[in-house]
Amino acid sequence: MLFDLEHTARINDVKSCTSGQCQWVRRAKPNTNSCSLHDLKLTKSEYGKQEKAYADINNFDPRSIIPHPDTLNRKLREGLQHVYSSAVGLHVLSHCPPPTVDEDILQSFITLDENIDSVEEVEAIEIFSIYDIRDNFVSLHNIQVSASESVDTQLVSQFFEAISLTQEQADMINEKTKGQGETEFWVKQRVGRLTASNFYKICHLRETTNRDNTLRELLNYCPLPPERTPVQFQWGHDKEQAAIDLYSKKFQKRHKGQCVNKSGLVVNTSWPHLGASPDGIRCCECCGKRVVEIKSLFSKRNLPPHIAASEYIIKVNGKYKLKTETRWYYQIQGELATTCFKIADLIIYTNKGILVIEVEFNVEFWKAMLKKLTDFYIGYMIPELLTQKILQKLP
Ligand SMILES: [Zn+2]
């Protein structure tokens, strides 16, 4: 580099800046006027721009706030207490009551514009659960909670409209339930909605079947205590991450920038009465996003996945496909519809490994499902939400 520079300078016969004599660079327009510091203004003048008033340097205190000795004393005590509660210093530091500020003074301080550093507009997004909306609705329309009362169809359709939500609210629900596991918020948002894992059951209710048991289950009227959670649920839950790891490994070479993210509760604004919680969302640069659903079979955990899941899958032209008349297919169709993705990867997991089966969104199938689900919601779920007839009858 240096040789190159030297060569260039020599060939062009141009002296470098350091090879000549030092020179004073003359200032274009010397400013010879002196002024006191007080009058010094370091601003760039611009046409039409008003000069800014700066703080008076003579009365300027660089400290932002001068703390009151009592405040200092209190903070020191609190800090010491926190760090070392048996410190001798605590006896020496005097106890003083926390400062009290007169309400009026505080009010006038807050209302003065000059005391506000910056104003930020924050748009509040309120999220209600179906039960929040229900409680409001019941008191607004004075609906009597009773075991015999039936509810007016007009009110049912009004309630169905009342549970609608905006895209911002749906996004917020998803965001707040992402990667959080079973939080109270998640449970609250789910109860009162039909969720994808129940779609098969709801779509297969016979005309003659009494709906009470189904509703009792869907509305979680008799929750199992955590210690009575069936062992297969816990096993399945524990194996979920192992399944995702195997799955990621299997596909990462073939897909650019692949990642599998946790998903929260997905509510589609078109169907606010439904919800889905896919196990994951896979993203890659080449194929976009797809739903990931993991199924583990506890009772057949020591069999290879294609044998363990033989009642759910069928081999067509050498490729495994998920049978349509299965709980899994209904759940996955529900997840695809609510997320608006076109493809899902079903991962069947056992101790012997994983089997991945692609499931495509089936629009016609979904339309038929949606009709059954909505009929059930309007015909049975809303009346129960409003009157709580079945809840009243519980022992
Ligand atoms: Zn890809």
- Distance of CA 140 from the midpoint of ligand 1 (Å): 51
216 is written with which tokens? Answer: 């009792």
Share of the chain above pLDDT 70, in %: 82
Residue extents of the structural domains in the chain: 70-96, 130-192+206-223+373-393, 231-368
Q: How far apart are CA 335 and CA 281, in angstroms?
A: 11
- Distance of CA 358 from the midpoint of ligand 1 (Å): 13
Report the pLDDT value the prediction gives residue 381, as an integer from 0 to 100.
95
Cα-Cα end-to-end distance for the chain: 90
**Range with the lowest mean pLDDT among 42-56, 122-136, 292-306, 377-391?**
42-56
Tell me the β-bridge partners of 357.
346
The tens digit of pLDDT for each residue in 92-111 reads: 776 655 556 777 777 777 77
Nearest to 291 by CA among 345, 354, 334: 345
Give me the mean pLDDT over the 157-176 stretch: 93
- Distance of CA 254 from the midpoint of ligand 1 (Å): 7
222 CA to centre of own chain: 28
345 CA to centre of own chain: 22
The tens digit of pLDDT for each residue in 287-326 reads: 889 999 999 888 888 999 999 999 999 999 999 999 999 9
Q: How confident is the model at residue 118 (pLDDT cuts 50, 70, 90)?
A: low
Q: What is the DSSP letter of 377?
A: I
Burial class (CB in 10 A: 0-12, 13-18, 19+), 80: middle
- Distance of CA 287 from the midpoint of ligand 1 (Å): 4
**Range with the lowest mean pLDDT among 160-164, 307-311, 377-381, 390-394?**
390-394
The answer to whether the beta carbons of residues 295 and 196 sit under 8 Å apart is no
Report the pLDDT value the prediction gives residue 38, as an integer from 0 to 100.
72
Report the pLDDT value the prediction gives residue 146, as an integer from 0 to 100.
67
In degrees rounded to 5, what are phi and psi of residue 313?
A: -120, 160
Give me the mean pLDDT over the 111-128 stretch: 72
What does pLDDT average to over the chain? 84
- For the cut 70, the answer to whether the pLDDT of residue 64 exceeds it is no
- Distance of CA 251 from the midpoint of ligand 1 (Å): 8
322 three-class SS: strand
Nearest to 345 by CA among 262, 261, 247: 247
- Distance of CA 338 from the midpoint of ligand 1 (Å): 22
- Distance of CA 261 from the midpoint of ligand 1 (Å): 15
More confident residue, 165 or 7: 165
Report the pLDDT value the prediction gives residue 24, as an integer from 0 to 100.
72
CA distances from 225 to 183, 190, 220, 222, 231 (A): 16, 18, 12, 9, 13
327 is written with which tokens? Answer: 């709980």
- Distance of CA 341 from the midpoint of ligand 1 (Å): 14
> CB within 8 A of 222, min separation 6: which ones?
216, 394
- Distance of CA 294 from the midpoint of ligand 1 (Å): 19
- For the cut 80, the answer to whether the pLDDT of residue 331 exceeds it is yes
- Distance of CA 78 from the midpoint of ligand 1 (Å): 56
Give me the CATH topology for the region 231-368. Lambda Exonuclease; Chain A (3.90.320)
